[in-house]
Structure 1
Amino acid sequence: MRRTYRILAIAIVVLVGVQAAAIAWGDSSMGEYVMGGSVIDQSLFTDESGSVPFVGVYGFIVHGMSGTLLIPAVAIALLVISFFAKFPRATFWAVVVLVLVALQVTLGMLSHGLAILGAFHGLNALALAAAAFYAQLIAGRARKEPVRKVTSAAETPTAV
C-alpha cells in the first residue's frame, strides 16, 4: 500500500504541473488571439456553435476538468489508501493534501468573481504540490525503517 500511496501522491504533483502548463497554454493562446485583433467578451464563452475561437481554449478545458474532477478524485483515493498504508502520518498528510485540494477548487471557482483570489489559487497550487511531494517522500522513507515492536514498557524495542 505504501507504493500505491506514493504513486497517488506523485500523481498529484504531476497533475499540478499539468494544471500549470494547461493554464499557461490557454492564457498565452488567448493573448495571441487578442494581439491578432480579435476581441474577447462574454459572447465568446457562451457561443454554442461548437467552433473554437483559439486553440488554447483546450488549455482552459484541461485546467478546469482536471482541477475539479481528476485531482480531487486522486486526493480522495490517497486518503482511502492512507488508512491501509501503515506508516506514521500517512493519513495526516493525505488529509493535508485533500484540504489543500478543496481549498484549491474553492479558490479557483471564487476567482472568477474576485480576481485577486487567482493569486492565492496559484500560491495554494505550490503548497499542494509541496505537500503531496512530502507525502510521497515520507512514504518512501518509512519503507526503509524497520518496524519496532514493544511488548512492555520495561523492554527495549526490538526489530521485527
Structure 2
Amino acid sequence: MKSVYRVLAYLIALEVVIQAAAIAFAVAGLGTWIQQGGVLDAASMESETTEFTGVAGFMIHGLNGQIIVPLLALALLIVSFFARIPGGVLWAGIVLVTVVVQALLGIFSHGAPVLGLVHGALALALFAVAAIAARRSEAALGAPVHAPAPPAGVA
C-alpha cells in the first residue's frame, strides 16, 4: 500500500504538469487563431464547430481538473488509511482539500476571472503538497531520499 500511495501522489503531481501544459496549449492556440482572423464571441464559444489548434487543451484541462485529479486525490486519501505512512493521512487530506478548492476556483473563475489568479497559484501548491506526500512515502518505504552526503573524511 505504501507503493500505491507513492504512485498516486506522484500521479497527482504529474497531473498538475499536464494541466499547465494543456491550458497553455489551448490559450496559445486560441491566440494564434484570433491573430489569423478567428472571432471569439459568445456564439463561437457555444458552438460545437469552433476549431483551432489547441482547442483540445481546454477539454483536457476541464476533464482532468473536474474528474481525474479529484478521483486520484480521493483514492490517495483512501489508500492513506491502509498505507501506514507516518503523516500519510494528513498529507493525503491536504492534497484532497487543495484539489477541491482548486476545482471550485476553476469553476467559479468563469464568473469572477480574478479567481483565475488564485487557481494558477494554487496549482503550484498542489504540486508541492503531492510531491511532499510522495517523498514522505519514500522515506516510509526505506527508499533513499537523497540526503546530502557527509563531508569528505567523516565516517
State if a TM-score over 0.5 links the two structures.
yes
Match of residue 120 from structure 2: 122
Matches within 5 A, 1:132-151: 132-144=130-142
Match of residue 85 from structure 1: 83
Structure 2 portions without partners, runs of 5+: 144-155
Structure 1 portions without partners, runs of 5+: 146-160
Q: Deviations over 1:4-54 (max 9, x none)?
A: 000000000001100000000000000001111111011112114xx3421
Match of residue 47 from structure 1: 47
Q: Given that residues 98 and 126 in structure 2 are in contact (C-alpha distance below 8 angstroms), is that contact kept between their aligned partners in structure 1?
A: yes
How many residue pairs get aligned? The number is 143
Instruction: Measure, in 2, the Cα distance between the counterparts of 1:120 and 1:86.
Output: 33
* TM-score of the pair, normalised by structure 2: 0.90
Match of residue 7 from structure 1: 7
Q: Given that residues 26 and 58 in structure 2 are in contact (C-alpha distance below 8 angstroms), is that contact kept between their aligned partners in structure 1?
A: yes
Moved over 3 A (4+): none
Match of residue 103 from structure 1: 101
**What is the aligned-residue identity percentage?**
42
Give the letter aligned to residue 26 of structure 2.
G
Residue 45 of structure 2 corresponds to residue 75 of structure 1: no
* TM-score of the pair, normalised by structure 1: 0.87
Residue 31 of structure 2 corresponds to residue 38 of structure 1: no
Q: Which has the larger radius of gyration?
A: 1
Q: Given that residues 10 and 131 in structure 2 are in contact (C-alpha distance below 8 angstroms), is that contact kept between their aligned partners in structure 1?
A: yes
Residue 44 of structure 2 corresponds to residue 64 of structure 1: no
Could you tell me how far 1:55 is from its partner in structure 2? Answer: 2.4
**Please, what is the CA RMSD of the aligned residues?**
1.1
